[in-house]
Structure 1
């Protein structure tokens, strides 16, 4: 069969730069720095088709061995889409997803989310789809918990943790449960209730999915598709056949020998085939659509960008996108998602409807059980999945205090989180950390500046989504509100005046009082 053309990345070696661009014959990709406060990577197609695709990077898509970003190990997929004329951008922020984040895009791709969605985020995604947007949920096998927070992508997408339906923070420390990441997380059967599917807990090994639904029965998505690869993945139960349909299935007659070697239960639930659930499925909701796949292996490529956030180790990813008919299926599936259609359920079309997947009692959300202790391995003592200041150098979100630590005034501790490499003239993220303050209290009248010997102001500061001031000097005043532990953070964007090198002082003031000063080194 003839597959669509796509292009390999040519900038694998450039892992820790702040701004660079790479040209191919059909698109231009601009890659920014390594923190949510920096401008997000985007790919501008040479011949635009007028459609836009947004990739989520707000739910630990780079945790552990994952590197599911458009300028990393999902770049082949992103570049393949750009080659077809799609504009591609990463969603990069440190706050909850809102409808306004999504409304300007035709498709929202969610690679393996490892931090659960808040109820407000679920509502925003649902509103987006009902109004005509489409979502692509890329999951993995059960217990693929990349950041060791007890949630894997299938659980995040479903809306609840296996064995923890009554308490989504079950087993977490007080700090984990009270973290901003877990605030607003509520258990529900969200995916099944709204999109008619649920990711199963199974975990299957290396299998070629050759049970392909005829293209005439799935809007042409599977045209010329013969085989889709799985390398440790799950399947998708069809809960509501009126709105959801499987389009790729695993072979029949699978046995326990086909399970993933580290599966925590029987791994293979119903001997493969249609009874096992779909490997790839689609759904129709309101004016929009959704698609689902039970393994990220079919999407990834071998060009990871970041280091592992817990250890700083090098990631190894694989050319799954190049395997079998994976690339062709992904592009055709995305084309279908991007096409606007007015019908609101598959029962309004001519395709045949599925039969609902038969499930075990332990797959009922409120009756689910946890067959093995979570997380699958204990994180290192210094690593906290919900706190980017504990991340290793080279990982996405990593910050460090350049001047050598924190400053304490009375019982209050302050520190600056800045990139390891500060380049004059570059837009860079700044996070100011506050601790040991009065819990649940708002403090006002802070400002921050940067100056060289003699007091010359060389820093310019703005809110993450704000405008730059006209002169170098102290930032506008800002306030913070502490959490129940007396901690708070403030995120800004800063740049040092072009031409400045050596060292400078960064200072935090409250009113006219100097509360903390640290030294930064400018390269």
Structure 2
């Protein structure tokens, strides 16, 4: 369990949540602040997060939401602690209730994603997605029946591939009094789902564990404040000259660069990590998982899934922040969360509870290391603007290797700023600060800093490491 004596700093930290690196503006003054760009959209008004509007009774009635008018039958907008939700409220449905759009989206629908979870201590519920192409006169079922059995939002994905005007209806099908919640309904315009990438690798970027907490923005793209599975506009529109502002997120430059290299990227917008299940975003469906400064502790089941993913050949990119960087005030910051995952030290890496500001050129001298001298170019430095170092243990894992250390450190097991390791058939890369991946563009209202372009080494390091994790390089 996390040591409670460190919680004294939480109220002080809350005062500092004003920049993407919320902890110390002074050291970050070396980076020029960049105003956040305009947000992208799926179909206009989506994703629907049920944040606007009020409906407190189950009686059928219409309510105006951010996307338009919906009829909620045997449904209301719930905002209690028992309502699983992103933000302040979500739609709660009972009996044979329905959520029905009273309007069409005009851009068609390639994919629909819906966050869902059971309410409180209720038993599981089943539900379905239905579509109408004749203004709601008739409906046809889309995909399979879904069971909601978790109290944490999971994401169900439906392939629609419908052009022209279309509207949707969510139907609870079990007819019981068990309640189920829905949130983050997104309708991707027709043609925005990324096409098959042939030999390209699949990268999953986590957006479900507090990466947007406080003023953080460690995702590829947000639509109406929510990271959706497929960033919009679609990746198929990216060319060799596409700017990173194509997507709105503080690590969009990273994602756009991966697409330019022939790979595909997705985000996990909500829910939990699984491995070996039929879930649409089960980790077995991806080559590399990128988790940039998590602020929500992984569950026991998630920790098992993450270790299985790596052990069976997956690549895990672990990015931490400094000590006392709890952005959502839940008592857990990224160093604690990473160390909790690595209980028993399977990777040979322990994140130190420190806070450093330093530009280091103290790197491993190796012309063959594919992270420091990979296809994207040679790495010569790494700048931390409030980050944490790591202690390495070859005794725990003989494959662990330091790559960049503090300038004052020997190239040993202490004060590593970047390291790699292997575990089973998989690979791990650790960087102790989120600043180097920050590209200076994020959600409207956030002030972020361009660390990605602070020097040429930052992009090279992250991309070389990504390719090594995906086993594109040895």
Per the normalisation by structure 1, the TM-score is 0.47
Matched, 1:74 2:251: yes
What does residue 182 of structure 1 align with? none
Secondary structure class of the residue paired with 1:195: coil
1:337 has 2:469 as partner: yes
Tell me the secondary structure at the aligned position of residue 322 of structure 1: coil
- C-alpha contact 1:45 1:86 (8 A) present in aligned 2: no
Q: What is the alpha-carbon distance in structure 2 between the residues aligned to residue 327 and residue 66 of structure 1?
A: 19
The answer to whether the 8 A contact 2:370-2:464 is kept is no
Alpha-carbon offset, residue 299 of structure 1: 0.4
| Higher strand fraction (1 or 2) | 2
| Corresponding residue for residue 175 of structure 1 | none
Relative to 1, partners in 2 of residues 1:46 and 1:230: Cα closer, same or farther, differing over 3 Å?
A: farther
SS in 1 for 2:436: coil
Q: 1:93 aligns with which of 255, 266, 270?
A: 270
**Corresponding residue SS for 1:321:** coil
- Give the direction of change, closer, same or farther, for the CA distance of 1:134–1:96 in structure 2 (3 Å limit): closer
Q: CA RMSD in A?
A: 3.2
Matched, 1:127 2:312: no
1:282-301 map, 5 Å: 282-301=420-439
Distance 2:466 2:253 in 1: 14
Question: Which structure exhibits the higher relative contact order, with contacts defined as CA atoms closer than 8 Å and separated by 6 or more residues?
Answer: 2
Which residue matches 1:235? 389
1:116–1:156 Cα contact (<8 Å) kept: yes
Query: Is contact 1:246-1:281 (8 Å) kept?
Result: yes
Aligned with residue 208 of structure 1, among 359, 362, 367: 359
1:58 matched to 2:208? The reply is yes
Q: Please say if residues 36 and 447 of structure 2, whose CA atoms lie closer than 8 Å, have aligned partners that are also in contact.
A: no
> What is the CA-CA distance between 1:215 and the residue it aligns to?
3.1
Residue number in structure 1 paired with 2:451? 320
Look up the match of 2:406: 250
Render the CA deviation track for 1:80-139: whole Å, top value 9, x for unaligned: 111111100001223454444110111000111101011110110111111111100111
Q: Structure 1, residues 351-375: CA drift from partner, whole Å, max 9, x if none?
A: xxxxxxxxxxxxxxxxxxxxxxxxx
Report how far residue 337 of structure 1 moved. 0.5
Structure 1 residues 13, 33: CA separation in 2 closer, same or farther (over 3 Å shift)?
Answer: farther
Q: 1:329 to 1:40 in 2, by over 3 A?
A: farther
The Cα of 1:220 is off from its aligned counterpart by: 5.2
Displacement of 1:18 = 4.3
CA offset at residue 303 of structure 1? 1.1
What SS does structure 1 have at the residue aligned with 2:430?
strand
Q: Which residue of 1 aligns with 2:184?
A: 37
Counterpart Cα distance in 1 of 2:473 and 2:424: 10
Question: 1:13: how far off?
Answer: 3.7
Count the aligned residue pairs.
Answer: 269
**Per the alignment, in what secondary structure is the counterpart of residue 129 of structure 1?**
helix
**Structure having the higher Rg:** 1
Larger CA deviation: 88-97 vs 49-58: 88-97
Cα gap change, 1:242 to 1:74, in 2 (>3 Å): same
Residue from 325, 338, 355 that aligns with 1:144: 325
Partner in structure 2 of residue 491 of structure 1 = none
Residues 467, 473 of structure 2: 8 Å contact kept: no
Structure 1 residues 272 and 134 mapped into 2: Cα distance closer, same or farther (>3 Å)? Answer: same
1:82-481 map, 5 Å: 82-95=259-272, 97-100=274-277, 101-159=282-340, 189-190=342-343, 193-205=345-357, 207-216=358-367, 218-219=369-370, 221-222=372-373, 224-240=378-394, 242-252=398-408, 274=412, 276-305=414-443, 314-324=445-455, 325-339=457-471
Query: What is the Cα deviation at residue 248 of structure 1?
Result: 1.1
Going from structure 1 to structure 2, the CA distance change for 1:133 and 1:43 (only over 3 Å counts) comes to farther
User: 2: CA distance between counterparts of 1:40 and 1:96?
Assistant: 23
Q: Secondary structure at the match of 2:386?
A: strand
Distance in 2 of aligned mates of 1:127 and 1:40: 32
- Unpaired segments of 5 or more residues in structure 1? 1-10, 21-29, 160-187, 253-270, 307-313, 343-523
- Which whole-Å CA distance do the structure 1 matches of 2:385 and 2:213 have between them? 19
Structure 1 position 286, deviation (Å): 0.7
Tell me the alpha carbon deviations over residues 202-255 of structure 1, each in whole angstroms, 9 at most, x when there is no partner. Answer: 1012x1110111234634534521111111001111023512111111211xxx
SS of residue matched to 1:335: helix
Measure, in 2, the Cα distance between the counterparts of 1:277 and 1:45: 42
**Structure 2 residue ranges without an equivalent (≥5):** 1-34, 45-109, 116-182, 222-248
For 2:262 and 2:220, locate their aligned partners in 1 and report how far apart those are by CA, in whole Å: 15
